[in-house]
Amino acid sequence: MLIRIIRNPLEALPAAAYHAPLVHSEFLGRERFHVMDPALIQETLVGNADALAKGPELRRSLGSALGEGLLTANGAHWKWQRQSASPIFRHDRLLAYLPAMLEAATETRDRWLKLPPGPDGTSQIDIAHEMMHTTFDIIVETMLSGHANIDVARVERGITNFLEATGWLFALSLLNLPEWTPYPGRRRTKASSGFLRETIGGILASRRQTDSRTGDLIDLLLAASDPETGRTMSDGEIIDNLLTFITAGHETTALGLAWTFDLLSRHPQYAERVLAEIETVTGGGPIAPAHVPQFNYTRQVFQEVMRLYPPAPIIARVTTQPFTLAGRRVPVGSMIYVPIYALHRHTALWDRPEEFDPERFAPEPSKARHRYAYLPFGGGPRICIGSSFAMLEGVAILAALIRDVRLTSLAPQPPEPRMRLTLRPSKPLMMRVERRG
């Protein structure tokens, strides 16, 4: 079990998670509950929200870089941080980000079309790497008001190095081993965490020195105060949250887009429908920000990809109070897992669950589906604060790129997904780039 957790936590999911409503087991002396029935998931994450907390395993895995930010904090500390950041994700603010999203996609398209051909006469890219670059540019522009001095390539390497160690850190925490326990890549992970925090710390220090205000995420966090105590965030707490948004905010959308382009290459009939919708909505003209919310079928495609490859594939909680679930007592200290990856491929919830079919998210099937059968961004009070941002961004980038560029997958089969907090391809998703038409 520990080897599976280190190698790929998806391999540690019980086989019954793909067809049973609830699976109970014990591991290292702790009771574990894998919850897959949508009604039970809702009861757990919503009805018993006050009895759950982020466990020490997650906090140890992410704490060196993300500290006590929104992703790892618990209780009142989490609540006031979320309230402080929520204005940046209001609907009107999201729509105002669309020009930056489309501009970043256009710059990516132009860069691709200038790539020199390889030995076989074609241009090739690692689509996941490319999408990381694009979504990182958007996060920096929209959340940090643009910081051209950021070393994007080094930041991306730092995030990758940091996430690669999460399997080891999770396993060491389960074994209750001390923080100093060595593991492969420990020195590299610590160096990456230090670099990421130093980089964001420099941006924050610059903002404090200039005392300028742009209304971005930095300003919101600088102005935040705890409603209970009136205290403001320390520089460390602001860095925790900025890193959380940068890491989770660009990684999730980028991976969703990478899997999307791979699947559309393997299912060209759906790509043609996306192209037809774009032409209908735009009338053949350029894509404008006002067009993006009208790309309904394009959104269905992205939603279906997020079903097959949910960016955060497992929700993990630890119980702080006992409660009853499906007639079974759940004691304090139990591990609760909502395996979103298995939920989205559950045989009792989805017809042909392994197949790619965007029609699942047409209006009628979507209305008939239980709210907690589809959780690409989690559920309950701790649902991802940036879910609407990610969906809008994914649709905008997909539409802007697919219209002018044809991407063809080079591998006969898609690589296996591997969980490193997020769901990454186990091998580079290499694609051929060609100008469409």
How far is it, in rounded angstroms, from Cα 139 to Cα 129?
15
How far is it, in rounded angstroms, from Cα 193 to Cα 198?
9
**Single-letter residue type at 258:** A
Q: Could you write out the DSSP letters of every residue in 269-323?
A: HHHHHHHHHHHHHHTTS---GGGGGG-HHHHHHHHHHHHHS-SS--EEEEESS-E
pLDDT score recorded for residue 330: 97
pLDDT score recorded for residue 168: 85
Question: What is the DSSP pairing of strand 335-338 with strand 30-35?
Answer: parallel
How far is it, in rounded angstroms, from Cα 7 to Cα 167?
7
Reported pTM: 0.93
pLDDT score recorded for residue 75: 87
pLDDT score recorded for residue 146: 66
pLDDT score recorded for residue 148: 55
Closest CA to 319 of 58, 33, 35: 33
Q: With 0-12 CB in 10 A as exposed, 13-18 as middle and 19+ as buried, what is 298? A: buried
How far is it, in rounded angstroms, from Cα 100 to Cα 88?
15
pLDDT score recorded for residue 123: 93
How far is it, in rounded angstroms, from Cα 315 to Cα 298?
27
Q: In b/e form, how buried is each residue of 43-55, taking b as 16+ CB within 10 angstroms?
A: bbbeebeebbbbb
pLDDT score recorded for residue 217: 87
Closest CA to 190 of 65, 56, 66: 65
* Sign (positive or negative) of CA dihedral 344, 346, 348, 352: positive
pLDDT score recorded for residue 2: 85
Closest CA to 324 of 63, 113, 47: 47
Residue in the structure block whose two tokens are 């994450």 = 45
pLDDT score recorded for residue 47: 96
pLDDT score recorded for residue 361: 98
pLDDT score recorded for residue 374: 98
On whether the 2-435 domain is CATH 1.10.630.10, my answer is yes
Q: How confident is the chain (437 residues) per 10-residue block, as mean pLDDT?
A: 88 96 94 97 97 84 81 87 88 93 96 89 92 92 76 81 83 85 88 89 86 80 84 89 86 95 98 98 97 98 98 93 96 96 98 97 96 96 92 97 97 92 92 92
pLDDT score recorded for residue 5: 87
pLDDT score recorded for residue 77: 85
pLDDT score recorded for residue 249: 79
Q: What are the structural domain ranges in the chain?
A: 2-435
